[in-house]
Amino acid sequence: MLIRSKLLLLPLLLGLAGAVQATEECATAVQCNQVGSAAYQDGRFEQAIEAFERQLRRVEDDDTAQLELALNNLILANLRAGDAGMARAWLGVALDNNLSGSSTRLHLRKVAEALDYPALSASPVGRYLRYGGQAVWSELLISEDGNGGYHGSFSPVRAGARVEEYGPAAIGELDGKLVGDGVQMRLEDAGLGSGCAVQLLREGIELRVQEVFAEGCQVYGGMGISVGGRYIKVSP
């Protein structure tokens, strides 16, 4: 039995060793680009995306050209992985940063061709993301509640400066009933105070969340946590 247990542990230990090696090989933006590009060429898109996210963290507050390169790597890798919704989310980050290089313009067309906008826009139900920097996303899941209405589940995060080492600096959780016509909605039964309104406006694949900032309203998470802002729908 002991020998068998060791054999079962061997793949796990090898996997951990590989992860450590990949981390050591991806200490700089240039190295991350090389590691991600090699994985991409081999068809290992999940590993490529991970490396490109690390590349992004190393240039996000630095060089615009390098930022555009990292974002375009993420757009293309997600497209090749079959996740057009996530590619659109990364394209949104590029556009929000006013990036307009030839690769960004090319990928804008590719994403538009790959994404099924009518399917994503048909219903509020689905997964929405809001970018928080450092390759970290806050999430909103909208589902049917079984009574002809909708349920909203927020998972907001605040990335912080050292998310790779320690994870997000703060996280939160907020759930409740969404009341409205599927375009304009408000969050109810979420355990918030009477003056702590959370409202949603959905337009196509974009969704805006507005919340009241007041004492006792942001009690659903750690310091600096909020569900407010602009989200994009990445899957139905």
Q: What is the mean pLDDT of residues 118-134?
A: 97
Q: Do 42 and 125 fall into the same domain?
A: no
Q: What is the pLDDT of residue 24?
A: 55
The residue among 86, 185, 166 whose CA lies nearest residue 128 is: 86
Q: What is the mean pLDDT of the chain?
A: 90
SS3 category, 233: strand
Q: What is the pLDDT of residue 17?
A: 37
Pick the last residue of a domain from 81, 114, 147.
114
pLDDT per residue over 100-120, tens digit each? 999 999 999 999 999 999 999
Residues near 124 by beta carbon (within 8 Å), at least 6 away in sequence: 142, 150, 178, 182, 185, 202
CA-only gyration radius of the chain, Å = 20
pLDDT per residue over 153-172, tens digit each? 999 999 988 899 899 999 99
Specify the number of domains making up the chain.
2
Judge whether 199 and 176 are in contact, CB under 8 Å. Answer: no
Q: What is the mean pLDDT of residues 124-137?
A: 97
Q: Does the residue 208 lie in any domain?
A: yes
Q: What is the mean pLDDT of residues 7-17?
A: 37
The residue among 80, 78, 194 whose CA lies nearest residue 91 is: 78
Q: How far apart are CA 143 and CA 81, in angstroms?
A: 25
Pick the last residue of a domain from 70, 87, 114.
114
Judge whether 140 and 126 are in contact, CB under 8 Å. Answer: no
Q: Tokens in use for 105?
A: 């313009």
Full residue range of the structural domain in which residue 149 is found: 120-233
Q: What is the mean pLDDT of residues 59-85?
A: 96
Q: What percent of the chain has pLDDT over 70?
A: 90
